[in-house]
C-alpha cells in the first residue's frame, strides 16, 4: 500500500480553508434521510458498482459512500476539508468493510502521488469546489492511465427557465446558504474539457417524481482517463 504523499502548499499562498459549521450540521442530517428516504442510497450503489483497486474520493462529506464500496476495492483515500464533516467521515470510515483513510485537504491540490489510483469518485462535490478545472486536472494526475472517474453530480438544467433561475441563485443566496454549492455548473462538459473520455452516463431528475428543484437535474456516470 503506497502511503499518500502530501502536496506542499503553493509558495506564498495561505492554506485554503473550508469551514461551514452550519452547513455541515445541516448536511449531516439531511444527507442521511435523503439516502434512506430520497433514493440517494440506491444512486450511490450505482455510482460505486464494480469498482476495484485503489480509489480516491474527493469531498467525501460525512462518508455516506464508504459503506457502499464493493469488496474489490482494496483502499479508499478520501479527502474532506470541512472539519465537522471530516470527523463524521472518519467515523464512517471505521465502520466500512473496505479500508478507508480520511485526509484533510482540497481537491484542487490532492495529497497523492501521480498515477496512484485505479479510480476516483466525485459525488455532489463539483458543485462546491473552488475550481472545477483544477480539480479535474488533479484527478487526471492521480489516476493511472485508463483509470475511471465515477461521478454523480447535479447540473445546469436543459430547460432555459430553470437554467435562468439556477444562474440567479448562484449569483446570490445559494452558495451562502449551502456551503458554497452552485446549481448551474456543467460537469459533463467540464469532464470532457479536462481530457477525460465519457464512457457512459445517464441524466435524470431528482426527485424523479416530484417538484423540480434547482438541484434536480443530475448526471451519473463513468469517464476514463
Ligand atoms: C454536498 S457535500 C457532498 C458530500 C459527499 N460527497 C456526498 O456525496 O454526500 C460537498 C462536500 O464537498 C466538500 N468540499 C467543499 N470544497 C471542497 C474542495 N475544494 N475540495 C474538496 N472537497 C470540498 C464539502 O466540505 C462537502 O463535504
Over residues 133-174, the pLDDT tens digits come to 999 999 999 999 999 999 999 999 999 999 999 999 999 999
* CA of 129 relative to ligand 1 center, distance in Å: 7
Distances in whole angstroms, Cα of residue 182 to Cα of each of 63, 68, 105, 150: 21, 26, 20, 20
pLDDT in tens, 25-56: 999 999 999 999 889 999 999 999 999 999 99
Q: Whose CA is nearest to atom 1 of ligand 1?
A: 124
Q: Is the pLDDT of residue 15 over 60?
A: no
Q: Model confidence at 208, in pLDDT bands (50, 70, 90)? A: confident
Whether the CB of 106 sits within 6 Å of ligand 1: yes
Tell me what pLDDT residue 27 has: 94
Tell me what pLDDT residue 16 has: 65
Q: Model confidence at 2, in pLDDT bands (50, 70, 90)? A: very low
Phi and psi, residue 177, nearest 5°: -80, -30
Mutate to test the pocket of ligand 1, among 15, 125, 179 (most ligand atoms within 8 A of CB): 125
Q: Is the pLDDT of residue 112 over 50?
A: yes
CATH number of 21-224: 3.40.50.150
Q: Whose CA is nearest to atom 22 of ligand 1?
A: 59
In this structure, the number of other CB atoms found within 10 A of the CB of residue 45 comes to 12
Short-list 195, 68, 53, CA closest to 118: 53
Whether the CB of 61 sits within 6 Å of ligand 1: yes
Tell me what pLDDT residue 7 has: 47
Cell numbers 466525485 correspond to what residue? Answer: 122
Mutate to test the pocket of ligand 1, among 27, 29, 61 (most ligand atoms within 8 A of CB): 61
Tell me what pLDDT residue 174 has: 97
Residue 182 sits at the vertex; the CA angle it makes with 181 and 186, to the nearest 5 degrees, is 130
78, 106 in Cβ contact below 8 A? no
Amino acid at each position: 500500500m503506497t502511503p499518500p504523499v502530501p502536496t506542499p502548499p503553493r509558495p506564498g499562498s495561505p492554506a485554503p480553508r473550508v469551514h461551514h459549521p452550519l452547513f455541515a450540521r445541516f448536511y449531516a442530517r439531511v444527507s442521511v434521510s435523503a439516502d434512506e428516504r430520497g433514493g440517494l442510497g440506491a444512486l450511490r450503489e450505482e455510482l460505486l458498482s464494480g469498482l476495484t483497486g485503489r480509489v480516491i474520493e474527493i469531498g467525501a462529506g460525512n462518508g455516506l459512500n464508504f459503506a457502499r464500496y464493493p469488496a474489490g476495492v482494496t483502499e479508499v483515500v478520501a479527502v474532506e476539508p470541512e472539519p465537522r464533516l471530516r470527523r463524521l467521515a472518519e467515523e464512517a470510515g471505521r465502520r466500512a468493510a473496505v479500508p478507508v483513510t480520511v485526509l484533510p485537504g482540497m481537491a484542487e491540490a490532492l495529497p497523492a502521488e501521480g498515477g496512484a489510483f485505479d479510480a476516483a469518485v466525485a459525488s455532489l462535490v463539483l458543485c462546491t469546489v473552488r475550481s472545477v478545472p483544477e480539480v479535474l486536472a488533479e484527478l487526471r494526475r492521480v489516476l493511472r492511465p485508463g483509470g475511471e472517474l465515477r461521478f454523480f453530480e447535479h447540473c445546469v438544467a436543459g430547460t432555459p427557465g430553470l437554467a435562468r433561475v439556477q444562474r440567479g441563485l448562484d449569483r446570490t443566496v445559494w452558495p451562502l446558504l449551502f456551503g458554497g454549492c452552485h446549481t448551474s455548473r456543467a460537469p459533463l462538459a467540464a469532464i470532457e474539457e479536462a481530457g477525460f473520455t465519457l464512457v457512459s452516463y445517464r441524466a435524470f431528475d431528482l426527485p424523479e417524481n416530484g417538484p423540480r428543484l434547482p438541484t434536480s437535474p443530475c448526471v451519473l456516470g463513468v469517464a476514463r482517463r
